[in-house]
Every structure is written in C-alpha cells, then in structure tokens.
Structure 1
Amino acid sequence: MSAFKRTALRRKPARRLAAVGVVAVGALLLAACGGSGDDMSGMDHGSDNSSASTAATGSADRAGDFNDADVTFAQMMIPHHVQALEMAKLADGRASDPEVKDIAVKIEKAQDPEINTMKDWLKSWNKPTEMESMPGMDHGGSGSGDGMMSDAGMEELKAMKGTEFDKAFAEMMIEHHNGAIAMAKDEQKNGKNADAKKMATDIVKGQSAEVEQLQSVVDRL
C-alpha cells in the first residue's frame, strides 16, 4: 500500500470524529438554549407574581386607610339608605304628585348603588355591615336625630294614597334626609377614608337639594 493511501485511511476516522464532535457540540448548544428559555420563562412567571403581589399590597394599603368614623358612617348609613329605599318604593301606586314620583325615583337611583359600595368598603376593612348596638337605628321612633322612621310611621305611610301620601312622604323624607346629612357631615369632619368622605360630600350636596325640593312640595300641597 502506498504512503498516500495509508495517509487517506488515517484521515477518514479523524473526519468522522470531527463530525461527531460538531453534532455533539450542536446538541449541547440546543440544550443550553432550551434551558435558557425555560429559565427565562421562570423569570417571567416570577415577574407576574411580583406584579400581582404588588397590586395586592396596594389594595391592602388602600383598604387599610380608614378609621372608626369611616366604619360607623358606613354601618349607620346602610340601614338608613335601606329605609329611604323602602319609602321611595311606596310611592309607586300611592303617590299622585309628579314631583314626588320624580324624587322617589332619584332616591332609588342614588342610594341603591351607595349601599352596595358601603358594603364593599366594610368587607375590605374586615368589618361587619351592622353595628352590634345601633342606638336610634332600631325603627323605634323618630326624634333620635338620625331621621329614621318608626315602624308605626312606616305602616301609616303604607296606608295612605294620593295627596295625603304625597305630603306625608315629603315631610317624612325631609326628616330622614336631614338625619343622613348630619351623619354625612360628621364623616366629613372625622373620617379618614377618601372615598367615604367623598360619598359624604355627595350625600350632603344631593340630599340638601332634595330637602329644598321636598319642602316646596309640602308648601304647595
């Protein structure tokens, strides 16, 4: 065998080894890329979790921005609004004055969403929606300063129709609104939560305007 042939034979295994080496290196590179992708994916998930944690912390911070006055405001205003809705619903089929009917609809549209909002606040604050003891809020009678109607007063209103209902409704709602305005002003003065204080401001403004309108109804009838 010539020296040329012997050299060629020796080179063939070397070429095969080189080819195997290239494949192996390629496989390692692919594995490394795949591993890098998995690591990056994990990093992305970590980022998502971090964002969620930050959002949760922000919510918790906002929920913690309240004091006892805010809690009392929400706990007392919820049943107060509930009774206002009961009175407003009585106007359907009983009221005859167009202005009284219009005011009743406004009360329902304004106060029903506010009830849900206040319940959400109390839930986020980990507080019950009702106070254990709520002086003056037991429907025992008006005159306690909160404007709540007694059970007897509500029954009397239910039995009325026409002009008699219109006038009684207006007079009772004036007293009821004045009670809510007093509670809202207390929240404006002593509350801490920005949303609760804003609602209190809206209540003072909106219900004060309705008191004037209701008084004009009483004067007219």
Structure 2
Amino acid sequence: MESPMNTEEQQSLNDEDEVIMEMLQEIELAVNEKSINVAQKEEERKSEEAMKSAETKAEQENILKQITELIGERDSLSAILKLQTEEFEQKVTKLDKMRQELLENLKSQEEQHMQQVEQIKLKFQSDLEAKDQLFLELEQRLERQQEHYELDVSCSICLDRWNSTSEHRPVSLRCGHLFGDHCIRSYLQRAYECPQCRGPAQLADLRQIFGRPA
C-alpha cells in the first residue's frame, strides 16, 4: 500500500500543474495569435487580390476603351482618307481631261496656224510671181518704148539723132515716116520712094516737123 504524499510533494505537484497550465495557456495564446495573424494575412491577401483584380479589370476596361476610341479614330481617318483620295482622283481626272483638251486645242491651233502660214506663203509666192511677171512686162514695154523712142528721135537712114537747129532736123513724107532732112534729100535724089514703105515720094513732099526733140 502506497504511502500518502506529504504536503510538500503535493505543493510541488500543484506548482508543476500551474506551470504546465501557464505554458498551455501561452501555447494556446500563441496559437490563437498565429491563427489570427494567418487569418489577417489571408484577408489582406484576398483584399490585395481583389484590389488587384479590380485594378486589372479597370485597366482592362480602360485599355478596351482606348482601343475602341483608336478604332473609331482609325475608321474616321480611313473615311476621311478615302474621301480625300476620291476627291484627289477626281481632280487628277479633271486636270488630265483639261490637259488633253488643251493639247488638242494647241494641236488644232498649230494646224490652223500652219495652214494660214502655208496660205500666206502661197499667196506671197503668187503675188511675187505676179509682180515678177508685171515687172517683166513693164520692162519689155519699156524696152519697146525705148526702141520706139530711139527710132522716133533718130533718123532711120543714118540712125543719128535729129537736131532741130541743123541740117539734120526731122522732116516727114506724105506717108508719115520721119527722116533727117539731109539724109532723105540725098536719098530722094537717087530714088523717088520712101525708104521704109517704098511708097512714091519726092522732094516736094517733104514737110518740116516742129516741136521734135533735139
């Protein structure tokens, strides 16, 4: 049979129990604090993740909004560029048409100008030929007049010019032919006819011509 514990032993056991209880309480408190810290950290993590998720969602929405705006701007610029391209093509087409019309007008004007130049050239040549012909005719007429004048102012027998103040003054026969007075008198002494037309003539037929050039 076991002997009962004395008071000191009992007290020692009680003290050990208290120490153990205190240690258990401290351990429990530490565990509780650890659990609380873990829970707080988990809450903080979830909060951070929620915040990050919200920020990411907001950022994504902002990016989508920017993309949508950029797409809208791109479509607007594309429409403006298409309109400007169409206007530019229309202007180019109009300018090309105007250039073609201008070239055709210039070509037509050049052809008309060449025709006018050719007509003027032909007219000038025709006028020049007509003037040359007229000049030739006038020259021939002048030569004939000169020959006639030479015959008219000179004796047809000796071919010397008449002189109204000498014995070689002009005289005419009945037939109208003119001769120097001395030459025709000498001739009629040998033959009784006009030296030119062979018509009958004699000294009595001679008529002095007044006003003839010397």
User: Shorter-chain TM-score: what band?
Assistant: 0.3 to 0.5
More helix by share: 1
Please tell me whether Structure 1 or Structure 2 has the larger radius of gyration of its CA atoms.
2
Q: TM-score, normalised by structure 1?
A: 0.32
Instruction: Point out which structure has higher relative CO (alpha carbons under 8 A, 6+ apart).
Output: 1
Normalised by the length of structure 2, the TM-score is 0.33
